[in-house]
Chain A
Amino acid sequence: MSATASPGLAPGHDPYHLGGSRDGRGDSAATGRGAGGPAPKRIVVAYGFWIFILSDIVMFAAFFAAYGVLVGGTADGPKPQELFDLTHVALETGLLLLSSFTCGVATLALTARRMALFQAMMAVTFVLGAGFLALELKEFADLIARGAEPSRSAFLSSFFTLVGCHGLHVGIGLLWLLTMMAQVLTKGFRDDILRRTACFALFWHALDIVWVGVFSVVYLLGVIA
């Protein structure tokens, strides 16, 4: 059953006409791609999580599309340029991008097996993420106080949904972050914990990428228009 023990395969058995068969047993040297056997667990987990993130980004794409369709549907209510405060948004962006940096440092600390640094950096990431969320909630509260609530117009519905969906992801990310801090603390640098923390880091960075989209499409374009 090993690679060498395959005697007597029908010579030139090549039912799909893939060519090759140079060694005369249909076991061509050119096996095509992906003949290396199952990938290691670390690769499989990260790969699967990437696929999940891509699906999440498709979901955001649907919300972006809805925003693009409905941004003009203001129903005589407030328009984007009357609502958005770029200083506020710049502060939010700063917090989130910085939290991605600290999250990256935490990953490095994990690789270096430095518990204290890891915990500290994750804590900073949490504070920055929570700060971002607080600013976003404040923006929402201000808008609603000014009568720009989501039920006012289709534009505002799609705005609150798109930005709120990102915020919801950050909130869930924070919950996950705390869980990972506790896990690393109690379980140590175990393989499965390391894989899981890598997934968390992927998730957190992906939220940054989505936020860059939100910042450009919603806020920047909104103010320019």
Chain B
Amino acid sequence: MLGKLTLDAIPLSQPIPLIAAAVVGLVLLGVIAWTVIAGHFPYLWREWITSVDHKRIGVMYCILALVMLIRGFSDAILMRSHMLFAYKAPGYLPPEHYDQIFSAHGVVMIFFGAMPFMIGLMNFAVPLQLGVRDVAFPTLNSVSFWLTASGALLVNVSLVVGEFARTGWWPAPPLSEATYSPGVGVDYYIWAIQISGIGTLLSGVNLVTTILKVRAPGMSYLRMPMFCWTALASNLLIVAAFPILTATLAMLALDRYLGFHFFTDSQGGNSMMFMNLFWAWGHPEVYILALPAYGVFSEVISTFSGKPLFAYRSMVMATMAIFILSFMVWLHHFFTMGPGGDVNGVFAITSMIIAVPTGVKIFDWLFTMYGGRIRFHTSMLWSLGFMLTFVVGGATGVLLAIPPADFVLHNSMFLVAHFHNVMVSAVLFGAFAGYAYWFPKAFGFRLDEWWGKVAFWFGISGFVVVFGAFYILGLLGMTRRMQHYDVADWRPWILIAGFGVVLMLVGVVAQVVQLVVSIRRRESLRDETGDPWDGRALEWATASPPPVFNFAAMPQVHGEEAYWTIKAAAREQLSLRNEPDYAPIEMPINNPTGVVCAFFATLIGFAMIWHIWWLAVLGFLGAFATFVVFAWRDKAEYEIPASEVQRINRANRTTRLEALQGVGRRRAA
């Protein structure tokens, strides 16, 4: 009846996961209980859970990402603190638990921290920057989000029910095969990633279609803000790369469930094929994450330097070059497979070439700042921190791309330092920069600057200390994923890395405090006009938070930097554009298809993990029924009357006009 699921699945003998899970569970239950008792649930259901508004979905993606980043960071704290006690000693985490923690850390950070954050920012900002009302497929967007949340839920359920994979963040066979990993850990991995992967793929399809087919009139390709270009490249990569991951994990699942021989290294199977397939997805994935972050930096640096982006066309070229090249370097993840000098040589050269367009971007950002009036807002600090630290990560990447060097450094702490160096400084700093930059657009008030700067300085110093120490540990010969060690030379650097984590923890706490403080002081941080940073793209042309329809009338784009052009004219004449002719607007109706569908997907995933076949069938029927019910609806859109559009738009015009008159008064004085 319940497949492999018995009471033994709950790790009653292991206090750490149990306590962690109990705390998380209590907090979660507490939050749910509070929302229900305080009567917020109907509001949440109507306005958020069932929302098909790209802005709300983007915000929910970012909230999921922030929560998961904290989860992943707590794994990191466990690992680093364990290592403090693991010198000539077993430490406090038994090996089988330690292995689960480093696996979960990678999975959570990549799939449920970094990915949702980037997709959330794209979801939120891209339609606004393109000057349109929503993404191409609003309900599909909601399905994507909730499938991602479903995957995140499954990974966290593995804390309490059963176990997580002990294979590392990529489940390398034959270790991940049923022979060597008979438990449910790898199955949790497979189904969590498959479900959230479908969500990611659908979100990629959605955003590609949006960027290529749904733009405001006049918004030609070479007038799109840089963030839209990087989002386009990133989502094209999602569409081209995620199906490979789906296929690869399907093969691994068939090996495990039905005794197939794809990767078993017996009966003709080939485990290196897994490596090739996995990294054919995995390397593009690096750029799926990094490219949107590059877009955020482009927006932030241009805005806070008060200048147009330098050499926009070279930036577009560099973005698309990275998009193509990212599919040609995957083999550098396993030079040590031994495919021969020629093959390794080719991939070494392509890996070095891909650093060139990234270098072009760095120079473009530098020249954007050159001669500008730079304002050191938190998001600008994150961008500058990125540029400084990312160059080091890029340089060590080129170093690792040399096969003879890679043979020495492969799977060492140097490698761990390298990929954290690039992932944290590009993706995480980019995410934080985007968070600080677009927060007022999403909520109508700015984030507190002082706490933001505290978070930045502690975050970046902790990051440099931890991964600086990792580089040195790697050069001293320490390999990754060690559960304990007895080399005296490593000891000081491990202690330093432990101290670095404390600094990062202060940064994380400051980030949380910043949010709390900002919410409490929201009246004084209010963004009245909708353009708090003197921005240049169309998202700043509407109110903060934008009305559900984004723009009262679809903007007509004239020239590059769509909003800057409008604003420059307004400042010159000290008057706003003429009021548009208000017309009723049709918007899609919120519906629970996404959340219901994800509920059934979670059932399918859980059932497959525990071999509860009847439940899997039930889940599939439920999901199909959900789609049929959705497809049967007769009314997909509702109408916002012209008078309501007028009222909302006039309110924003009033504050903007006041701001403009302020400019006029200052000019007169």
Contact = CB atoms under 8 A, between A and B. Distances in A.
Nearest to A180: B631
B559 A158 contact: no
A183 B632 contact: yes
Contact of B556 (A3, A59, A70): A3
B514 interface: no
Contact of B270 (A7, A25, A61, A73): A73
A91 interface: no
Given A10-B568, A59-B243, A179-B628, A47 B212 contact: yes
A35 B218 contact: yes
B545 to A, nearest CB: 21
Interface in B369-419: none
Interface string A29-72: 00111111111000111011001101110110111011001101
A155 B221 contact: no
Given A1-B580, A18-B560, A70-B262, A37 B217 contact: yes
Contacts of B217: 3, 35-37
Interface string A153-169: 11101101100010000
Contact of A151 (B202, B204, B261): B261
A131 interface: no
Contacts of B218: 3, 31, 35, 37
Contacts of B634: 187
A44 B572 contact: no
B569 A62 contact: no
Q: Which of A8, A35, A165 is most buried by chain B, counting CB atoms within 10 A of its CB?
A: A35
Interface in A6-24: 6-10, 13-18
A74 B266 CA distance: 10
A59 B246 contact: yes
Interface in B36-82: none
Contact of B244 (A15, A18, A43, A62): A62
A59 B250 CA distance: 10
A14 B258 CA distance: 62
A196 interface: yes
A85 interface: no
A54 B267 contact: no
Contact of B555 (A1, A25, A153, A186): A1
B361 interface: no
A152 interface: yes
B425 to A, nearest CB: 27
A155 B264 CA distance: 12
A70 B268 contact: yes
Contacts of B223: 31-32, 35
Contacts of B268: 70, 72-75, 153-155
B209 to A, nearest CB: 4
* Chain B interface category by residue count: 35 or more
B205 A52 contact: yes
A73 B260 CA distance: 12
Contacts of A75: 261, 266-268
Interface in A81-140: none
Contacts of A10: 565, 568-569, 572
Q: Which of A15, A36, A155, A196 is most buried by chain B, counting CB atoms within 10 A of its CB?
A: A15
Nearest to A54: B239
A213 interface: no
A51 B210 CA distance: 11
Interface in B544-569: 553-561, 564-565, 568-569
Contacts of A31: 218, 220, 223
A164 to B, nearest CB: 9
A196 B221 CA distance: 28
A6 B569 contact: yes
B313 to A, nearest CB: 6
Contacts of A7: 569
Given A27-B558, A55-B242, A61-B244, 5 more contacts: A1-B555, A13-B560, A38-B132, A161-B254, A192-B636
11 contacts: A1-B555, A1-B578, A18-B312, A27-B559, A32-B220, A35-B220, A48-B206, A55-B204, A56-B243, A73-B261, A152-B267
In the A-B complex, list the 7 residue pairs whose CB atoms are closest, starting with the nearest: A73-B268, A15-B308, A154-B268, A37-B217, A62-B247, A59-B243, A16-B312
Interface of A: 1-3, 5-10, 13-18, 25-28, 31-39, 43-45, 47-48, 51-52, 54-56, 58-59, 61-63, 65-66, 69-70, 72-75, 77, 150-155, 157-158, 160-161, 165, 175, 179, 183, 186-187, 192, 196
